């Protein structure tokens, strides 16, 4: 018997046509294992791509492919213009401000993703600014990519890492954060939204307190940009990073926003073509920002398709997407609570998109495997947040993470699957 997706019984937000949003994603139209309609709830790992993004990517390779910044010929100039136009679009997308009379988009650096953006800041700003006696403040809920680069640079420079603890709800302990701030704190690096728990951190307050103490703030926006309207000027962040593939764009591309005056003072990241002003064996001078940080042929096609993803998401109305996902998360939280012996991990008052849980003694991997056979894609494990799992004294969780195209029927299928897990594992 062929399973079909039930129609939505009731819309969550009359203003938001989730069926139409979903129809834009070809990958979501498939059945797995012959007859199980795909229920994709692994969006914190990566999102599916709308047709507009796929078309932009193939359109570029079909008609427009050329290297950027180097050619006088038509295709190269066209590719360069498209590549640079996305910078302006991304600056607008995150509300980057003008700086010192220079346009906002000069503070947008293309990277491979959030991970590379953080490594870039650690290897350039960190190496130049940190020294023995300095401290870098991280939260207990950071993704490994906002821990390991700082560990490495602290080992090298003699600076020390200090930790902001979390409560059992998965919220930062703000008083502990304020206590740990001192004149030794050079950087506070925090995630905007936790990928493992969904907690939305009070970034504006964190930035205000950090700045009062004279520290800079790096915000990991990998899980916020796809789900919340983000305004880096309002947040006040000095650095802000995110990944294209988690916001309906391609893999291998991300953005580092940095304040102009910090980027100007930072040494280059990698050496090579495109990041120089002039090269001689005696003395090499570097290009202005942002090109100083973009050595070699960049990921041109993905930059251009990232622009299409940002345009697509903006068109859906980011506040509307937020409202839809928030209502759906509330529905999902209520529904999974119906299941015996469920333990929600992460019950912060402000959350986005993520539902992490354990089902009695069932190993998350077993639960994930049963769900998979029903076409329900979730993630299991530590979610690259082992220090956070340690806080909860667990090896990992089952994580269902929502996106703009999910609806109540997806949640209902998840709950049906969890009931089956319960029956199978007692
Ligand atoms: N930070 C957070 C909060 C994440 O969720 C992730 C990915 O899951 C990353 C950083 C790393 O992103 P990427 O692998 O795209 O570099």
**121-157, pLDDT tens digit by residue?**
999 999 999 999 999 999 999 999 999 999 999 999 9
Q: Which atom of ligand 1 is nearest to the CA of 383?
A: 8
- 344 Cα: distance to centroid of ligand 1 (angstroms): 22
Determine the Cα–Cα distance for residues 295 and 202; give it in Å rounded to an integer.
35
Protein residues whose CB sits closer than 6 Å to any atom of ligand 1: 44, 113-115, 143, 145-146, 191, 195, 220, 222-223, 243
Q: Which atom of ligand 1 is nearest to the CA of 115?
A: 16
Q: Which atom of ligand 1 is nearest to the CA of 243?
A: 15
- 115 Cα: distance to centroid of ligand 1 (angstroms): 6
How many CB atoms are located within 10 Å of the residue 99 CB? 17
Per-residue pLDDT of 267-277, as tens digits, reads 999 999 999 99
Predicted confidence pLDDT, tens digits, the chain (426 residues) = 345 565 554 455 678 999 999 999 999 999 999 899 999 999 999 999 999 999 999 999 999 999 998 789 999 999 999 999 999 999 999 999 999 899 999 999 999 999 999 999 999 999 999 999 999 999 999 999 999 999 999 999 999 999 999 999 999 999 999 999 999 999 999 999 999 999 999 999 999 999 999 999 999 999 999 999 999 999 999 999 999 999 999 999 999 999 999 999 999 999 999 999 999 999 999 999 999 999 999 999 999 999 999 999 999 999 999 999 999 999 999 999 999 999 999 999 999 999 999 999 999 999 999 999 999 999 999 999 999 999 999 999 999 999 999 999 999 999 999 999 999 997
* pLDDT reported for residue 71: 81
Contact by Cβ (8 Å): 223, 242: no
Decide the pairing of beta strands 254-258 and 239-243: antiparallel
User: Of the residues 222, 224, 241, which should be mutated to test ligand 1's pocket, given the most ligand atoms within 8 Å of the CB?
Assistant: 222
- 46 Cα: distance to centroid of ligand 1 (angstroms): 9
User: Of the residues 46, 139, 145, which should be mutated to test ligand 1's pocket, given the most ligand atoms within 8 Å of the CB?
Assistant: 145
- 268 Cα: distance to centroid of ligand 1 (angstroms): 23
Mean pLDDT score of the chain, rounded to an integer?
Answer: 96
Residue 342's φ and ψ, nearest 5 degrees, are: -85, 140
- Distance between the two ends of the chain, CA-based, in angstroms? 27
- 191 Cα: distance to centroid of ligand 1 (angstroms): 10
The domain 18-50+317-425: what is its CATH number? 3.90.1150.10
Annotated catalytic, 384?
Answer: yes
Question: Domain segments of the chain: what residues?
Answer: 18-50+317-425, 56-314
Q: Which of 199, 174, 140, 227 is nearest to 347 (CA)?
A: 199
* pLDDT reported for residue 220: 98
Which three-class secondary structure state does DSSP give residue 408? helix
Q: Which of 145, 136, 90, 93 is nearest to 114 (CA)?
A: 145
- 328 Cα: distance to centroid of ligand 1 (angstroms): 23
Q: Which atom of ligand 1 is nearest to the CA of 142?
A: 3
Q: Active-site residue among 154, 241, 384, 404? A: 384
- 289 Cα: distance to centroid of ligand 1 (angstroms): 24
Q: What is the DSSP letter of 27?
A: G
- 120 Cα: distance to centroid of ligand 1 (angstroms): 14
Q: And the tokens for 277?
A: 């002003």
Contact by Cβ (8 Å): 150, 161: yes
- Residue carrying the six token digits 């300095």: 134
Ligand 1, atom 8: nearest CA belongs to which residue? 45
Q: Which atom of ligand 1 is nearest to the CA of 114?
A: 16
* CATH of range 56-314; options 3.40.640.10, 3.40.50.880, 3.40.50.970, 3.40.50.720: 3.40.640.10
Contact by Cβ (8 Å): 202, 223: no
Report pTM: 0.96
* pLDDT reported for residue 51: 98
User: Of the residues 42, 46, 110, 115, which should be mutated to test ligand 1's pocket, given the most ligand atoms within 8 Å of the CB?
Assistant: 115
- 336 Cα: distance to centroid of ligand 1 (angstroms): 26
How many CB atoms are located within 10 Å of the residue 183 CB? 11
Q: Which helix (H) or strand (E) holds 255?
A: strand 254-258
* pLDDT reported for residue 1: 39
User: Of the residues 45, 143, 230, which should be mutated to test ligand 1's pocket, given the most ligand atoms within 8 Å of the CB?
Assistant: 143
Q: Which atom of ligand 1 is nearest to the CA of 113?
A: 16
* pLDDT reported for residue 4: 57
Q: Which helix (H) or strand (E) holds 135?
A: strand 135-139
């Amino acid at each position: 018997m062929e399973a079909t997706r039930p129609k939505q019984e009731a819309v969550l937000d009359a203003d938001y046509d989730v069926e139409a949003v979903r129809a834009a994603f070809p990958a979501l139209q498939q059945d797995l294992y012959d007859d199980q309609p795909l229920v994709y709830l692994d969006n914190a790992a990566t999102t599916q791509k709308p047709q507009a993004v796929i078309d932009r990517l193939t359109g570029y390779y079909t008609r427009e492919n050329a290297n950027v910044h180097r050619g006088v010929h038509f295709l190269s100039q066209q590719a360069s213009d498209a590549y640079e136009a996305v910078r302006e679009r991304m600056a607008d997308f995150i509300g980057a401000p003008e700086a010192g009379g220079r346009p906002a988009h000069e503070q947008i650096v293309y990277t491979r993703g959030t991970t590379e953006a953080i490594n870039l800041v650690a290897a350039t700003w960190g190496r130049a600014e940190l020294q023995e006696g300095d401290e870098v403040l991280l939260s207990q809920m950071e993704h490994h990519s906002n821990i390991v680069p700082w560990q490495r640079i602290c080992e090298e420079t003699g600076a020390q890492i200090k930790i902001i603890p979390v409560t059992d709800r998965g919220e930062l302990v703000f008083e502990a954060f304020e206590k740990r701030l001192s004149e030794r704190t050079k950087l506070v690096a925090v995630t905007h939204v936790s990928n493992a728990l969904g907690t939305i951190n009070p970034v504006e307050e964190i930035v205000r307190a950090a700045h009062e103490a004279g520290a800079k703030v790096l915000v990991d926006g990998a899980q916020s940009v796809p789900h919340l309207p983000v305004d880096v000027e309002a947040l006040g962040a000095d650095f802000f990073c995110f990944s294209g593939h988690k916001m309906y764009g391609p893999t291998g591309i991300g953005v580092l926003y940095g304040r102009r005056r910090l980027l100007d003072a930072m040494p280059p990241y990698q050496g090579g073509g495109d990041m120089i002003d002039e090269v001689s064996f005696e003395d090499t001078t570097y290009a202005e920002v942002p090109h100083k940080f973009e050595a070699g042929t960049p990921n041109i096609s993905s930059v251009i398709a990232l622009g299409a993803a940002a345009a697509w998401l903006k068109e859906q109305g980011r506040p509307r997407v937020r409202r839809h996902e928030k209502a759906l998360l509330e529905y999902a939280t209520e529904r999974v609570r119906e299941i015996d012996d469920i333990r929600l991990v992460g019950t912060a008052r402000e959350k986005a998109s993520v539902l992490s849980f354990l089902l009695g003694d069932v190993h998350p991997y077993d639960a994930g495997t049963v769900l998979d056979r029903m076409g329900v894609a979730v993630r299991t494990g530590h979610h690259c947040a082992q220090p956070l799992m340690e806080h909860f004294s667990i090896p990992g969780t089952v994580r269902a993470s929502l996106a703009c195209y999910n609806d109540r029927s997806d949640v209902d299928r998840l709950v049906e699957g969890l009931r089956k897990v319960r029956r199978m594992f007692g």
